[in-house]
Amino acid sequence: MAKNYFRNIPDFEYVNRTKDGQFISNYTQVKNFFKKGKLRDDLFQDLTVFEKYSVKGDDRPDNVAFEIYGDANLDWVVLLSNNIINVQNEWPLSQISFENYILDKYGTLEKLDEIHHYESNEVKDSTGVIIFPKGVRVSAAQSVSYHEPLTSEQVTVNPVSKAVTNYNHEQKINDEKRRIFLIKPIYLNVVFDDLEEMMQYKEGSTQYVSESIKRADNIRLFE
């Protein structure tokens, strides 16, 4: 069972060109990190396989894995479920990291309170019909006019915009990263079996040694 992601990464042998490699047949074995696992495309197309999850506080992928799967080593399942490759950029920052990041980006605390852009407030008529949705980027003076169905009057709301500071903008981006999807625990064995098969080398290449080892061509033979 492929619970540990890195243990299932196959090996690659390359010719040892260091001083220790005295013989032409000396090879060094390393993990082939170019061999990457992923979830099957048909799993992503079946929404019943996943459940929505909101990352809490400063939780890391291993914290989430322990809470949902009872095993912190299954953090790679959390990441693969969301196609996350770069954890630093694609996972929500901790509060301390977030504050350090925005201060480094904007330079001063005063600039964090400067206006980044404007977004709309929600506008509804008297029957509850949404005339203008909230969260749309607009100008500072954006107005909305509509026909009020109960009174037959022409109503103008001016402005419908609200200021979004640099801090609010960055906070929203970080919070959006908290909304993730997780493979339901009952489907873990499917993921394990797929990963195990995916990481195996297939016969047919001159570099093939076994299901877990490939060997680079020995260019020293031609020197």
Tens digit of each residue's pLDDT (9 = 90 or more) over 18-34 = 555 455 556 665 655 45
44 CA to centre of own chain = 14
Q: Provide mean pLDDT across the span 50-66.
A: 96
Q: Provide mean pLDDT across the span 129-143.
A: 95
Please report the pLDDT score of residue 67 as a whole number: 97
Q: Provide mean pLDDT across the span 81-94.
A: 94
- Give the gyration radius of the chain's Cα atoms: 27
Please report the pLDDT score of residue 216 as a whole number: 59
Provide the 3-class DSSP secondary structure of residue 3: coil
Predicted model pTM: 0.72
Contact 15, 219 (CB under 8 A): yes
Please report the pLDDT score of residue 33 as a whole number: 47
Please report the pLDDT score of residue 155 as a whole number: 95
Contact 200, 140 (CB under 8 A): no
Report residue 37's pLDDT band, with 50, 70 and 90 as the boundaries: low
Please report the pLDDT score of residue 8 as a whole number: 59
- Report percent pLDDT > 70 for the chain: 68
Beta partners for residue 159, in sequence order = none
Please, how many CA atoms are within 13 Å of residue 111, restricted to the half-sphere of its CB?
A: 8
Please report the pLDDT score of residue 145 as a whole number: 95
168-197 pLDDT, tens digit per residue, is: 999 999 999 999 999 999 999 888 777 766
Task: Work out the mean pLDDT of the chain and round it to a whole number.
Answer: 82
Judged against a pLDDT cut of 50, whether residue 1 lies above it is answered with no
Please report the pLDDT score of residue 161 as a whole number: 95
Please report the pLDDT score of residue 189 as a whole number: 87
Judged against a pLDDT cut of 60, whether residue 223 lies above it is answered with no
Please report the pLDDT score of residue 194 as a whole number: 74
What does the domain layout of the chain look like in residue ranges?
115-166
